[in-house]
Amino acid sequence: MKKISWGTGIVIAIIIFVVLVLVQTIYLMNQKVDLVEEDYYKKGIEYQKDIDVQKKTSELSEQVRFDFNGQYLIISFPENLSDNKISGEVLLYRPSDSGLDIKFPLQTDSLSQVIPVSDLKKGFWRVKLRWQYEGQDYYDESSFLVE
């Protein structure tokens, strides 16, 4: 059996290293990358406005409740509000795949909204609630796991 010289060994090691780097680069370049938000940079600039709205929401005497029972997500508004003055939108946000996000208008019935979630793909979901009451903006969010 012929021994490999140290020079040949170094060349083989360099070639293996270069091939591994190229394979890894090609693999990573073909991975799907979803931004958290479509208008990520624009929303980043407006972030202070969102912080102010969240602060105003946290100062409410009663908070919005999110109840998840496996089949339904129930959003309950404070009882001191009038349901016909509440408007807004609900976003069911899937961090791992923006293609699964669902947005729909807020429709309160007796200060609550029931959202069926049994058809959602299994995994982690976040509900983002942007709502208005008597001209004031509010924002609340919660998360749940569909199994």
pLDDT per position as a tens digit, 22-68:
999 999 998 876 666 667 777 777 778 888 888 988 888 889 999 98
Q: Rounded CA gap, 13 and 105, in Å?
A: 60
Q: Which fold has domain 40-146?
A: Immunoglobulin-like (2.60.40)
Q: Rounded CA gap, 134 and 48, in Å?
A: 22
- pTM of the shown model: 0.67
Instruction: Give the pair of three-digit tokens for residue 1.
Output: 């059996």
Percent with pLDDT over 70 in the chain: 95
Query: Which pLDDT score, from 0 to 100, does residue 49 have?
Result: 84
